[in-house]
Amino acid sequence: MGERRALLNETSLAETVAAVEDAHFFNRKPTPTSAQAVMRWLDTRQAIGKGYQRALCTPTDADKKDGARVFTGERLGTGAQTLHVLGEEAYRSYLLLSKWTDSSLTLTVETMGAAMGERLDQHYNGRYCCGPCSVSVWRALIAGGYSKNEERLELAMKYLHSKRDASGRWGNLPFFYTVLTLSEMETPTAKDELHYCLPTCDQLLKRYSTITEPYASRRTALLERVLSRD
């Protein structure tokens, strides 16, 4: 069922956006007070002006020092990945939180969307930079960020299809993070990619259901969810 936890961790952007994602994934709507506290804190992280493209929220010193991970546990391997992926996840969190609180979007999140939207117009063709960065953009699009959402997500699925390999994965794209993204999509192309990876998901579930390593419970819940879909 997922852990009940405070959303806001002022020492870590990674932990904060993971807590928001945990609430979303396990369908535990946070209180308006808790959601608004995170939104106010994200405002301060964006105001620093050192985020990706000087638009997205900035990771904390702890995120940079300890080596941040995404919700499904894959570690972000470079400083650039940490800066961009956590920034996209913070943007997604802001969009989710605004829906939960029925709050109007602030200038902060509008600034994020406008600045990165221009960047996507110039550099996005389904792929954006590396594997983790691409998936983080897709997740922001799913949450309603940027523009041309359906068109851009279809380009993403075409790119993902081109990355299929012999192992039921997609080359250098982070497997669980990608599956998490597909689990929120209902388009035929997304369902096709999810169907492609189901044998791998089945194999992994047998492993993760018997271990207690960090992130195993989230991965197990994700695998069970996609394997139980029609």
pLDDT 10s digits, 190-207: 999 999 999 999 999 998
pLDDT tens-digit readout, 207-221:
887 888 879 999 999
Under the banding of pLDDT at 50, 70 and 90, the label for residue 230 is low
Residue with the bigger pLDDT between 142 and 65: it is 142
* Mean pLDDT computed over 135-142: 98
Distance CA 116, CA 145 (A): 10
Residue 13: its pLDDT value, please?
A: 96
pLDDT for residue 104? 62
Location of structure tokens 């299809």: 161
pLDDT-derived band at 103, boundaries 50, 70, 90:
low
Answer yes or no: is pLDDT of 121 > 80: yes
Inter-residue contact 169 to 197 (CB < 8 Å): yes
Of the two residues 158 and 106, the one the predictor is more confident about is: 158
Per-residue pLDDT of 36-90, as tens digits, reads 899 999 999 998 878 998 889 999 999 988 779 999 999 998 999 999 999 999 9
pLDDT in tens, 154-191: 999 999 999 999 899 999 999 999 999 999 999 999 99
Residues forming beta bridges with residue 69, ordered by sequence position: 75
Show Cβ contacts of residue 122 under 8 Å, excluding neighbours closer than 6 positions: none
- Give the per-residue pLDDT at 80: 93
Q: Buried b / exposed e across 69-81, counting CB within 10 Å, b at 16+?
A: bbbbbbebeeeeb
Q: How many Å separate Cα 221 from the centre of its chain?
A: 16
| DSSP string for 160-212 | HHHT--TTSS-TTS-HHHHHHHHTT--SHHHHHHHHHHHHHHHHHHHHHTT--
Per-residue pLDDT at 1 exceeds 90: no
Q: What is the pLDDT of residue 182?
A: 98
Task: Write down the pLDDT at residue 102.
Answer: 67
pLDDT of 106 higher than 80: no
pLDDT in tens, 2-44: 444 579 999 999 999 999 999 999 999 888 889 989 999 999 9
Indicate if the pLDDT at residue 109 is higher than 90: no
The region, left, alpha or beta by phi > 0 then psi within -120 to 50, assigned to residue 32 is alpha
